[in-house]
Amino acid sequence: MRDTEGERQSIIELLTRLDNHTVELEVQYMIDFTKILIEARWQEDAPEFTSFKKWCESLEKMHKGQSLQDALQSEDFLCAVLTKAGSSRTVYFNTKKRLLLLARGLGIGDLTIPDREKALSEHKAATYFKNIQEVLDKIDKVGFLHDGYDPQTDLAIVKAIAVLSWNGYKVSDMLTIKKNCPELSNRISTEFELSVIQTLAKLKEYRALNREQILTFNTDSELLFRPTGESEEFRASFGIHSHVYRFNSIRRNKIIKLNLDDIRKNGVFYRVAHDTSNDSIFKKMEKHSKLKDKTIEYYAEELETIGTQYFLD
């Protein structure tokens, strides 16, 4: 028989040596970390415990001034937390486990967790896009927050990144694409999407909205994502990720936060949904992506939960 009292005393002693950060969290959120350590059977220096504390802190931005105890009674809040890191079954069950541990630490005896289907349905609009036009429209809405916004040019780089991501390109692939690249038409099927890429290819300068300045492209470069001025490398001065970060950081942007992995996934879902063959979803994903088998399994499971009709309406 386990000596639970001795185990508890041992953990309490360990907690007295915990860093001040944990103590601050305990006071701020009134979380009994001793109870959580016992429940999860973690050591105080376990990576899982460190990760759990950071996760608790991340919830602060989500519960909008409520206490965590009150926020956890809100189904909408729980659905948002459950889908924040993704929508696979693995993410759902790992987050559910954390929520139950947090509830124990907050002294909530009976916490009702929404099932995965409920969580996904509540937050579908925030995670999924019916088509690439919806993504580009939202980008323009952010642009129109600025006076004098030109939808043809001002966010041409961000739009091109979105279109390429939708069609399965990774950042490393984007950095090597040339302005005149006939191979693009093999992976980008619509003239509309190709026109977004061609707009960027023809630009000589663009306006950086978040800095309100005009930047001139290096005319000697043959790359689509080319440097400005005399800089030789786009990677150093205007990396793909930095453009996405700057767009997401635009003041008053509450409309869309770009996540390239999510956009790529949406593109796969869209192509699979519009594939009229009799192949299974798994086979269709193999056809329309370069994903590994395990990832395809997760994606196929997720798409079956959402339903292909979502991308057809």
Please spell the DSSP secondary structure of 71-133, one letter per residue. Answer: HTT-HHHHHHHHHHT--SHHHHHHHHHHHHHHHHHTT-S---PPPHHHHHHHTHHHH--SSHH
Domains of the chain, residue spans: 4-126, 132-248, 260-311
pLDDT at 212: 66
Nearest-angstrom CA–CA distance, 199 and 163: 12
pLDDT at 270: 95
Q: How many residues make up the chain in this entry? A: 313
On the question of pLDDT at 158 being above 60, the answer is yes
**Percentage with pLDDT > 70 across the chain:** 80
Output the average pLDDT for the chain.
80
On the question of pLDDT at 4 being above 80, the answer is no
> What is the reported pTM?
0.63
pLDDT at 258: 85
Q: For 142-170, what is the mean pLDDT?
A: 91
Provide the 8-state DSSP code for 19.
-
Nearest-angstrom CA–CA distance, 155 and 136: 10
Q: For 141-170, what is the mean pLDDT?
A: 91
On the question of pLDDT at 114 being above 80, the answer is yes
Say which residue, 171 or 8, is predicted with more confidence.
Answer: 171
Confidence band of 131 (pLDDT split at 50, 70, 90)? very high
On the question of pLDDT at 14 being above 60, the answer is no
List, for residues 50-69, the tens digit of each pLDDT value: 788 788 877 876 766 677 78
Nearest-angstrom CA–CA distance, 255 and 179: 30
Q: Which residues pair with 206 in a beta bridge?
A: 215
In terms of average pLDDT, the best of 157-166, 182-191, 227-236 is 157-166
CA torsion 266→271→276→282, rounded to 10°? -70
List, for residues 250-283, the tens digit of each pLDDT value: 777 777 888 888 899 999 999 999 999 999 999 9
pLDDT at 159: 95
**Percentage with pLDDT > 90 across the chain:** 23
Confidence band of 246 (pLDDT split at 50, 70, 90)? confident
20-34, 80-94, 132-146, 296-310: least confidently modelled range: 20-34
